[in-house]
Structure formats: C-alpha cells, structure tokens
Amino acid sequence: MPPRNPPWSRDELILTLNTYFEQRPSDIAANHASVMSLSEELNRLPGHVIRPDAQRFRNPNGVYMKLSNFLRFDDSYAGSGLTHGGKLEEEVWRDFATDRDRLRRVADAIRAVSAEPVEATGAILSIDDEFEAPEGSILVGYHRYRERNASLSRKKKASVLSKTGTLACEVCGFVFKEKYGLLGQDIIDCHHIVPLAQLRPEKTTKLSDLSLVCPNCHRMLHKGKDAPTLEALRDIINSD
C-alpha cells in the first residue's frame, strides 16, 4: 500500500468548488489549464505540512477526480457523477453552491491570506477546534492572528478604558475587575469583526475593527456554521 496523503480540508474543497463553477469537470479533461493551476495552488496552500505521498499530493488527476465528485450534487448535470466522496464535500456544496458570489469572495480571501508570510501562516496552522467557520480554517486562523496582535489589543483596551472607564464585554457586559479584582483588571478578549471573506493581508487592522468581548461570548461568536454577530448574540442573551 502506498502512503496516503491527508484528507482534503474544507479550505481545499472551497477552492475546488469555486473552480468547479468556473469550469465544469464534465466539459474538460484532467490536463485542462484550470485543473493544472488549481493543483499548483493547492500544493502551495498552508495547512498540510505532512504529505506522505508528496509526488501525488493534489496532483491534476486527484484534483480532477475531486472536481468530478461535486457532479453528483449538481441538478444541472445530466449524468450521475461519481457516487463516492466524503461528507465534507457535501457540506461545502450545501454551504456554498447556492451563493456563488460568496463562494468567490471566500475563495479570493483564502488565496490572498495564503500568500502571507510565515508568521501569519504559523498562526493559521496552530488553529484550535473551538474556533471554526464555514469559510475554512485558513481564514479563521488569520482572523485569530489579527485579533491576537498584542500591541493592537493593548491600544484597543487603553482607548476603551479612557472613553468608558472600564473594560466591559460588549455583548454581555461582564467586567472581569468587578468579579476578580485586581487579578482581572485588564482581562478581556479582542474580537476582529471584519467578515472572514473580507480579510486581506494588505488591509491593516484598525481599532474600530476590534470589539472587546469576554472569552465566553468570544467563543459563541466563533461557534459553528452560523456564527452570530455581536448584535445577534446580545439578542440571544436578552431574550429571556
């Protein structure tokens, strides 16, 4: 048995689905330029450091096969498509096939962010499972990298402190200092409110892009598929 490469990530499937809608695999062969360039792109993407079969990692044949896996979900395709394929493919199809503008924006953002220097890429790779989004782990990792910027978060806290006299969670109002005393006096998270699909390396983070939230609310803001906005989370808290 040859060594197996890692399974496809959501990020990779998003880029692949985006290419799918630009160029249906049923109309092209595996050596088509769009397949070749997607293959190269996937090879450059941060994420899969370990590639047991580097030679065949996301090679044009594999990429073409993956493109063809999406045919089975496509009502506009007369054939039946390949019947096998993973659950994640189905999820990515469900999340993006009906909104191709969003798919394109997310794919563009993944591409832009992936071209970032190693420092950011390192943050992307160390992403933890508590923070996830339909847009994939590369954009979430980059989001986390942006909001963890220590000097920016210091500036944000100082600015809020001087304006309001306290560091309260913008969602639930929790103030660490009131509960924990001096120990909690400067504890609060920064959350980057720019939508993931709008993240671009060339746009630097402004203080107004950051919100101060407690770790509980921060975790909710990153929860699963339909991550709530700050306003929506506030409504949930205030609803009972």
Residue 75 tokens, joined: 């009502």
Binding to Zn ion, residues 189-218 (CB under 5 A): 191, 214, 217
Q: Which is nearer to Zn ion, 66 or 191 (CB)?
A: 191
Provide the terminal-to-terminal Cα distance of the chain, rounded to the nearest Å: 58
For the CB of residue 98, give the shortest distance to Zn ion in the complex, in Å.
27
| Site stretch for Zn ion (CB under 5 A), options 24-32, 84-92, 156-164, 186-194 | 186-194
For the CB of residue 90, give the shortest distance to Zn ion in the complex, in Å.
27
Q: Which is nearer to Zn ion, 6 or 195 (CB)?
A: 195
Q: Residue 48: name the closest of 14, 2, 10 by CA.
A: 10
Using DSSP's 3-state secondary structure scheme, residue 9 falls into coil
For the CB of residue 146, give the shortest distance to Zn ion in the complex, in Å.
9
Q: Which is nearer to Zn ion, 45 or 188 (CB)?
A: 188
Rounded to whole angstroms, the Cα distance separating 185 from 167 reads 8
DSSP-assigned beta bridge partners for residue 99? none
* Cβ count within 10 A of residue 219: 13
For the CB of residue 218, give the shortest distance to Zn ion in the complex, in Å.
6
Name the burial class of residue 90, with classes exposed (0-12), middle (13-18) and buried (19+) by CB atoms within 10 angstroms of its CB.
Answer: middle
Please report whether residue 140 would count as binding Zn ion according to CB under 5 A. no
Q: Which is nearer to Zn ion, 52 or 173 (CB)?
A: 173
Q: Which is nearer to Zn ion, 10 or 191 (CB)?
A: 191
Please report whether residue 169 would count as binding Zn ion according to CB under 5 A. yes
Q: Decide: 160 and 167 in contact? Cβ < 8 Å.
A: yes
Q: How many positions of this chain bind Zn ion (CB under 5 A)? A: 7
Q: Decide: 142 and 151 in contact? Cβ < 8 Å.
A: no
Among 13, 35, 171, 197, binds Zn ion (CB under 5 A): 171
| Site stretch for Zn ion (CB under 5 A), options 76-84, 97-105, 156-164, 185-193 | 185-193
Rounded to whole angstroms, the Cα distance separating 199 from 178 reads 35
Please report whether residue 156 would count as binding Zn ion according to CB under 5 A. no
- Spatial neighbors of 161 by CB under 8 A, at least 6 apart, are 167
Q: Which is nearer to Zn ion, 37 or 204 (CB)?
A: 204
Q: Which is nearer to Zn ion, 17 or 214 (CB)?
A: 214
Rounded to whole angstroms, the Cα distance separating 47 from 8 reads 10
Q: List residues binding Zn ion (CB under 5 A).
A: 169, 171-172, 174, 191, 214, 217
